[in-house]
Amino acid sequence: MNRVLIFVDNREVSSGILDYFRQYDCEIQTKMLLYGDFIVSDRVCIEKKVVSDFIKSITDKRLFYQLKAMKDNFEKPNLIIEGEESL
């Protein structure tokens, strides 16, 4: 049986996500990704943002570039917004 290969952007290593993925029988490779934070197949790319980065990336218009690039290069791009903003 083939193990799922997940590419993780090397900027996400300090987030603790590698420990989460290690719970599962998958292969993990870290590298600088051009699109998204995680690539889980040739069709699926995931961008994960905490709320503060989500808001900042809307303000500086980076989010729109990131999402368009993912849409142009993957059949199923995904955006995960993690956490909640306290007011």
52-74, pLDDT tens digit by residue? 999 999 999 999 999 999 999 99
Residues 25, 54: Cα–Cα separation, whole Å: 30
End-to-end CA distance of the chain: 48
Q: Give the burial string for 33-67 (b: 16+ CB within 10 Å, else e).
A: bebbbbbbeeeebbbbbeeeebeebeeeeebeebb
pLDDT of residue 22: 85
6-51, pLDDT tens digit by residue? 999 999 988 888 888 888 888 999 999 999 999 999 999 999 999 9
pLDDT of residue 84: 74
